Amino acid sequence: MTHPAWSAARAALPPCWRSAIGAEFDAPYMAALAEFLAAERAAGKAVFPPEPLVFAALARTPLDAMKAVILGQDPYHQPGQAMGLSFSVPPGVRVPPSLRNIHKELHADLGVPVPDHGCLTRWADGGVLLLNTSLTVERGRAGSHARAGWHAFTDRVIQAVNAREAPVAFLLWGGHARRKAAMLDAGRHLILESDHPSPLAAARAATSPSPFAGARPFGRTNDFLRARGRAEVDWRLD
């Protein structure tokens, strides 16, 4: 039985997602996760993103429209940043350092102008699933909900995308995301692994075998989709 905390979120998902992963909301671990989040909030802890945006990635990008997946770790953990889409911040919010590096690589890869904002909803609406492996986080504590149960849920999401016959590009940036590569069918999908776009990883790029800068994930994704008769991703953000 679906925990009351998840009933509205489950009902709001596109039908294709409800069909593929709807049963997960009935799993005991999801009931435990709901109780954990309720206890965190009752204790006065700020949890991001706001509750209505926890499943925003699934709500904005239907499974049957999927072209690519960009996998992040967990939401931004400062007020006003997290919006339920990996790496994205709302309009008017200062662009975080990792996203600035994503913008730079996008420009170097495809010549796309660097935007003056960090909102990636255009990608999400265009078939790019902007998924974090944990869908919530405590204010000021990166990774704080990594063991709360979210990984079981988001693994099912990844498995649902992997099971699709239509080929998809998986962009796995950083060690946390790259651990999911073993779950994926490299014969059907494109798996692009590189370092995380963070400044810390960029500082080590000279000694890394897979730096983010120069990896061309956006162009390679479109090359892959086009070769398989699928529509390309429109990566523009202006």
Question: Mind listing the pLDDT tens digit for each residue in 104-133?
Answer: 999 999 999 999 999 999 999 999 999 999
User: Do 70 and 87 touch, CB atoms closer than 8 A?
Assistant: yes
Residue 66: per-residue pLDDT = 96
Residue 199: per-residue pLDDT = 84
User: Do 202 and 211 touch, CB atoms closer than 8 A?
Assistant: yes
**Predicted TM-score (pTM) of this structure:** 0.96
Average pLDDT value for residue range 37-58 = 97
Number of domains composing the chain: 1
Distance CA 199, CA 226 (A): 32
235 within a domain of the structure (yes/no): no
**Which band of pLDDT confidence, cut at 50, 70 and 90, is reported for residue 202?**
confident
9 within a domain of the structure (yes/no): yes
137 within a domain of the structure (yes/no): yes
Residue 149: domain span: 4-228
- Known catalytic membership, residue 26: no
56 within a domain of the structure (yes/no): yes
Beta strand 137-138 with 47-48: parallel, antiparallel or unpaired?
A: antiparallel
Distance CA 215, CA 108 (A): 10
Residue 60: per-residue pLDDT = 97
Residue 201: per-residue pLDDT = 76
Distance CA 18, CA 24 (A): 9
CATH for 101: 3.40.470.10
Rounded to an integer, what is the distance from CA 97 to the centroid of its chain? Answer: 17
Q: Which of 26, 74, 125, 185 is labelled catalytic?
A: 74
